[in-house]
Amino acid sequence: MNHEQLQQSMYTLIVETSTNLPKDVRRAVKAAKERENAGTRAAMSLDTITTNIKMADDNISPICQDTGMPTFKIKTPVGVNQIQIQKAIYAAMEQATKDGKLRPNSVDSLNGSNSGNNLGLGTPVIKFEQWEEDYIDARLILKGGGCENKNIQYSLPCELEGIGKAGRDLDGIRKCIMHSVYQAQGQGCSAGFIGVGIGGDRSSGYDLAKTQLFRGVDDVNENEDLRKLEEYVMTHANELGIGTMGFGGETTLLGCKVGVMNRLPASFFVSVAYNCWAYRRLGVSVNAETGEINEWYYQDGEDVSFDTAQKEEQEIKSESRVVTLQAPITEEQIRDLKVGDVVKINGMMYTGRDAIHKYLSTNDSPVDLNGQVIYHCGPVMLKDAEGQWHVKAAGPTTSIREEPYQGDIMKRFGIRAVIGKGGMGPKTLKALGEHGGVYLNAIGGAAQYYADCIKGVEGVDLMNFGIPEAMWHLRVEGFTAVVTMDSHGNSLHEEVDKSSLEKLAKFKEPVFA
């Protein structure tokens, strides 16, 4: 096999998966957009999402800045050298990272150091299987950490909040799946997709669940019981009212695929792999002799394209009050904001994720953060020949991970606004009231949309933590997000959680005999 051609084919697969959402996913997003009522937060979010998809196409840049844990599933003819394929994937991964198509995401679990090239023990994940066809089937999914954190596994029988007892039968499985959608809320960048694995052990069950995410959105389950289960979940999960980004709305789930395998008599696991709307999954057929791509998968059916909507038009559609703020921001300006307001920020903001928050809990800040904005974001960055950094993708990361630190850090350094996704907990909400702060929910996955708002990189601190975890100094214009937690004790996330839990209770009664 031609190693250089095989490496190029794997590079092309990686770049296309990161930047080009497949047709079946685009159709699902379009249908969701058409279901929402104009002027709602959900409609505004879906406008941003579709704009982001188009921008990723045009820029050939990552749809979402969290390019996830790359997981390859490779089927090879008997006799094909799998070690050669593995080497080609490694080389392609390193090149795609260097070119800004992937964020460096491989981190040493013990010392926290970032390899910088997406290679390391266990990364990327490559699963090989032999088959009797004469070509290579190579498929890749880029599943980000935010939705990976909302994966969940149930051991039946069990008692589930809101929906009651789940037994070792199809109805118990149904309850687990419905609960899995409820517990994800907006933290996995809903509206999302789920893969479900019934049976196996703890590890094979999760693998089966993730394997379901390699199915096409439009396919029909050959198992009649599972087909009915998938249809039930797709109908009723969208009645929970969680909606896009957890803002409420008509669409919470865009796809549900269920698989089954045998289990041990003593164990009954239901494993759920959650995936965000940025469902980056593609595949290719590769000539086993030349290494060239013969065919692309998941690209059948109607082609959906999205126009790049103007941000101003999106805001006009919204019934929410639009407030423009120039950083640094005063406490008076923050106290004036209420849940539901749309905020446009101009000036400076500073990125801060897990490593930064832990650092700031015991160290001085490298910059004056009084009146400033912290952005929960690990961007994709690229340095040009003159040494200047450029932002290639910059959507929000899940905020709840910073809950142990956020309130204390805001008070200590005078931070007035925090931007992220999925909301935060009671400790942060209390601190917002005491200090005069606000939490702004940006649209998860909209990495191109927000990168376009960033007009310059003014500096960077703490690069020893790696590119995603460093503190980037970003100059922004018109950076738009929604107030979901204010300084008056109000939290949209709490409201949606409570409301969806009440709606979940409607599904307690048996459905499948």
> What CATH number is given to the structural domain containing 342?
3.20.130.10
CA 424 vs. chain centroid, Å, equals 17
Residue type present at position 326: Q
Range of the domain at 204: 145-275
In a domain, 134, yes or no: yes
Q: What phi, psi does 72 have (nearest 5°)?
A: -100, 135
Distance (Å, whole) CA 250 – CA 100 = 35
User: Do 105 and 158 reside in the same domain of the chain?
Assistant: no
User: Do 454 and 376 reside in the same domain of the chain?
Assistant: yes
In a domain, 104, yes or no: yes
Distance (Å, whole) CA 357 – CA 403 = 10
**Which residue from 382, 327, 338 is spatially nearest to 104, judged by alpha carbons?**
382
Q: Which residue has the tokens 């406008």?
A: 47
pLDDT in tens, 18-45: 999 999 999 999 999 998 988 888 899 9
User: Do 180 and 114 reside in the same domain of the chain?
Assistant: no
* pLDDT at residue 55 tops 60: yes
User: Do 421 and 487 reside in the same domain of the chain?
Assistant: yes
User: Do 262 and 329 reside in the same domain of the chain?
Assistant: no
Cis peptide before 468 (omega within 30 of 0): no
pLDDT in tens, 152-172: 999 999 999 999 999 999 999
User: Do 341 and 469 reside in the same domain of the chain?
Assistant: yes
In a domain, 398, yes or no: yes
User: Do 229 and 126 reside in the same domain of the chain?
Assistant: no
Find the angle CA(34)-CA(309)-CA(275) to the nearest 5 degrees.
55
pLDDT in tens, 425-464: 999 999 999 999 999 999 999 999 999 999 999 999 999 9
**Is the distance from CB of 410 to CB of 458 less than 8 angstroms?**
no
**Which residue from 409, 264, 259, 414 is spatially nearest to 328, judged by alpha carbons?**
414
Assigned token pair, 386: 């003159």
User: Do 117 and 180 reside in the same domain of the chain?
Assistant: no
User: Do 222 and 289 reside in the same domain of the chain?
Assistant: no
In a domain, 374, yes or no: yes
Q: What phi, psi does 302 have (nearest 5°)?
A: -60, 135
In a domain, 288, yes or no: yes
In a domain, 509, yes or no: no
User: Do 350 and 485 reside in the same domain of the chain?
Assistant: yes
DSSP strand E in 352-437: where? 373-375, 380-383, 389-393, 417-420
User: Do 203 and 262 reside in the same domain of the chain?
Assistant: yes
Pairing of strands 471-485, 454-461: antiparallel
Q: How many domains does the chain have?
A: 3
User: Do 339 and 480 reside in the same domain of the chain?
Assistant: yes
Asked which of 139-143, 271-275, 311-315, 353-357 is least confident by mean pLDDT, the reply is 311-315
**H helix intervals, 338-405:** 354-360
> Over the Cα atoms of the chain, what is R_g?
23
Q: How many residues are given for the chain?
A: 513
In a domain, 346, yes or no: yes
Distance (Å, whole) CA 451 – CA 396 = 11
Average of per-residue pLDDT across 234-257: 95
What's the mean pLDDT when you consider all of the chain? 95
Distance (Å, whole) CA 380 – CA 394 = 7
In a domain, 458, yes or no: yes
pLDDT at position 305: 81
Distance (Å, whole) CA 364 – CA 288 = 56
